[in-house]
Chain A
Amino acid sequence: MGTENKASQWEVPKALRLPSAPADILLKRQALKKELYKQPNLDSTRIAILGGSTTIEVMSMLELFLLSGGIRPTFYESGYNRYSEDVLFESPDLWDFRPDIVFIHTTWHNVLHFPELLESEVEVEKRLNREMARFESLWEKIHKELSALIIQNNFDLPQLRPLGNLEASEPYCRINFLHRLNTAFSAYARNHSRFVINDIHYLCAQVGLAAWHDRNYWYSFQMAVSPSATVVLAQNVAAIVKSVYGKTKKCLILDLDDTLWGGVIGNDGVENLILGRDHPVGEAFVDFQRYVKNLKRRGVILAVCSKNDAEIAKQGFSHPDSVLEIGDFSVFKANWNPKPDNIRAAALELNIGLDSIVFVDDNPAERAFVAGQLPEVAVPDVGSDVSRFAEVLEHEHYFDVVNVGQDDLSRSAYYSSNVGRSAYQAEFRDYGEFLDSLEMTAEIGPFLPVYLERITQLINKTNQFNLTTRRYTSAEVETISQDPAFVTLYGRLADKFGDNGLVSVLIGHVTHETVELDVWLMSCRVLKREMELAMFDALVEECQVRDIRKIVGVYIPSKKNGMVAGHYASLGFSRLDGASRDRELWEYDVPQSYSAKASYIRRTLKTLPTGLNA
């Protein structure tokens, strides 16, 4: 491997380190990934991301941080907010994917059983159990049937707290409820192997709630975590995955002067070192030493690599305020050799790879030298301010551990649980019963002026469930809505958990007794809810009223609308011969008597949210 190659390999991870701004990482991701994919000997893993909100950004960032840790991921991504259905109803795609790891990306927005205001403690307790049972049923099923390791978000906090500080203490308040749920999640994690919490309760505090959740991204993309906070989240998840794969660093090698104490011991003498509570910087050195001591207590190997005379250097640990003792270090290299040589020698003595070493030195020239000579060694840019050293080390998650070993990942590992079957799982016998429980109501009708803006927006942004991907300006949509030669339908869908809003649009133009469908689209957030059937029912009714005998469906395949390739066939249309492959035509004869296809959606009269309806 040439020197040039070594340098570029070092540069890429560097771009992911502090003080890189999250926005820079987001914007440079393509180039970074390309570089990272060039690394030799990548491990591979299969990760299913089950999302309670949009996960595409999470997936993209996770890929980046896993690559930087030497792991090449293959992903499965659940449909929008289908984290629960995918598992409970055994989505064949998920089962076929055979994940090593299932990451459940839920946030407080996904809590279904928040208490009502002033509810009694007994009632709140019931809700808590119900919510826990819901999640436990997912976890058990994943463990039993997929044998996958689970990474589960705990809950972040909402920005708004209507009852102010009372939210912290009253059981019927959301914040108190979330704290209790988090405690219950933690207890589950302690009692179950192969289950790890991704602590977003900490992360949202770390980045601040205002930066964690951005209403703009929530309302426009249903992203529960803002893009910049997603960087932090993905890094945290990647750290868990890396430690599962044994990629955690084993050894911390430290410089001495101005790294573990202030001053140069060879010049100043041990009595003049800056170390101790009576000096502001001395106190910071004590705290860093304590941090390092705790790393050692949990199993991180410590070593010294310092340009010093060994005997003098050792005296530093006899300083009365030194937390570290000479015996804490497994290897002590204080001499005048180049540091890369010392580090190589230390690795040999400890019988560990260079890639399991982290080197901390306040001197940027030494850092650059080591990083350039030994690209496998992690050399964080700790700066020269000791009060930030620990923070930088933590940011890189070098020493994160989870309580699972390599064995835990093995597919043959058996699983047993003493947790009873949950009420939630037994609640539904099949998918139909689940749909029934959603108590869905749809409002479907011809375009109304109040909805034109939303309709235009959907027409111009929907790519997947979109039969023709035709785009229209708002002026065109308005004209169509007033033209009797067109059939127009919009659909809103609500369920017991809330209103999904206007989610489906259909436009057809009428010639004689035939309507040809120019636009049929639906938002992916209501996939597999039978909403497309309800729209079709409404279309057929409209045709019957207007004496339209024939419906012609148009399918224009695009790179993104493969999911609706079988749409017309599934509704009973017959394919018309002769049409081109770029533009399929399908035909349906409107029957005299028709029985509705949607069986779980109740249709309601339009109820305008603005109160404009008569």
Chain B
Amino acid sequence: MTREKFLLEIDEILDLPAGTLRGDEKLEDIETWDSIALINLVVLAETQANASITPDQVLTCTTIADLLRLAGVEHNPPVSKE
């Protein structure tokens, strides 16, 4: 799955118009981010990204970019948090 496709899937899970998310958003800033969305993202990562991803790993994500990286579709390097 490509980065774009994955972003579109997340748009759908979060009930956002297609193309809303660009990758640099913080999960907490997204209005529709809730526990259902979190569970769904784990399901998405498991089923669509073909990656062996555990809920625990998704729980550590704070941005959309973290999720993309976890799913193996993000090519931009992580921004330093320091």
Contacts and interface: CB of A to CB of B under 8 A. Distances in A.
Contacts of A228: 43
Contacts of B60: 457, 460
A220 B55 contact: yes
B36 A27 contact: no
* Interface SS majority for chain A: helix
Of A57, A60, A216, chain B has the most CB atoms within 10 Å of the CB of A216
Given A460-B62, A471-B62, A473-B81, A26 B40 contact: yes
A56 B35 contact: yes
Of A23, A30, A217, A473, chain B has the most CB atoms within 10 Å of the CB of A30
Nearest to A558: B28
A6 B14 CA distance: 27
Interface string B56-69: 10011010000000
A27 B39 contact: no
B44 interface: yes
Given A28-B12, A30-B15, A31-B12, A220 B54 contact: yes
A221 interface: yes
Nearest to B82: A475
Interface residues of A, number: 23
Contacts of A29: 40
B13 interface: yes
Contacts of B15: 30
Given A216-B54, A220-B56, A227 B62 contact: no
Of B28, B36, B39, B81, chain A has the most CB atoms within 10 Å of the CB of B39
Given A27-B44, A216-B56, A228-B43, A57 B36 contact: yes
B4 interface: no
Contacts of B44: 27
A221 B35 contact: yes
B67 to A, nearest CB: 14
A319 to B, nearest CB: 46
Contacts of A62: none
A223 interface: yes
A460 B63 CA distance: 12
Interface in B33-82: 35-36, 38-40, 42-44, 46-47, 54-56, 59-60, 62, 81
A461 interface: yes
Contacts of A461: 59
A189 to B, nearest CB: 31
Contacts, number: 57
Contacts of A220: 42, 54-56, 59
Given A217-B39, A227-B39, A30 B56 contact: no
A460 B59 CA distance: 8
B62 A217 contact: no
Interface string A450-467: 000000010011000000
Interface string A211-237: 000001101110100011000000000
Contact of B36 (A23, A56, A217, A219): A56
Given A30-B12, A473-B81, A457 B59 contact: yes
B60 to A, nearest CB: 8
Contacts of A30: 12-13, 15
B55 A217 contact: yes
Interface string B16-46: 0000000000001000000110111011101
B13 A27 contact: yes
Contacts of B54: 216, 220
Interface in A81-116: none
B64 to A, nearest CB: 16
B43 to A, nearest CB: 5
A221 B13 contact: no
Nearest to B81: A473
Contacts of A473: 81
A27 B56 contact: no
Interface in A468-484: 471, 473
B32 to A, nearest CB: 8
Contacts of A227: 39-40, 42-43
Contacts of A28: 12
Contacts of B55: 216-217, 219-221
A471 B13 CA distance: 24
A471 B42 CA distance: 21
A227 B12 CA distance: 17
Nearest to A226: B43
A220 B35 CA distance: 11
Contacts of A27: 9, 12-13, 40, 43-44, 47
A54 to B, nearest CB: 8
A60 B36 contact: yes
A221 B39 contact: yes
A29 B46 CA distance: 17
B26 to A, nearest CB: 10
Contacts of A56: 35-36, 39
A217 B59 CA distance: 11
A59 B82 CA distance: 40
Contacts of B28: 471
Interchain residue pairs A-B with the least CB separation, the first 7? A220-B55, A30-B15, A23-B47, A216-B54, A216-B55, A227-B43, A26-B43
Interface of B: 9, 12-13, 15, 28, 35-36, 38-40, 42-44, 46-47, 54-56, 59-60, 62, 81
Interface of A: 23, 26-31, 56-57, 60, 216-217, 219-221, 223, 227-228, 457, 460-461, 471, 473
Given A27-B12, A27-B13, A57-B39, 17 more contacts: A23-B47, A26-B40, A26-B43, A27-B9, A27-B47, A29-B40, A30-B12, A56-B36, A216-B54, A216-B56, A219-B56, A220-B42, A220-B55, A227-B43, A228-B43, A461-B59, A473-B81
7 contacts: A27-B40, A27-B44, A29-B40, A217-B39, A219-B56, A220-B56, A457-B59
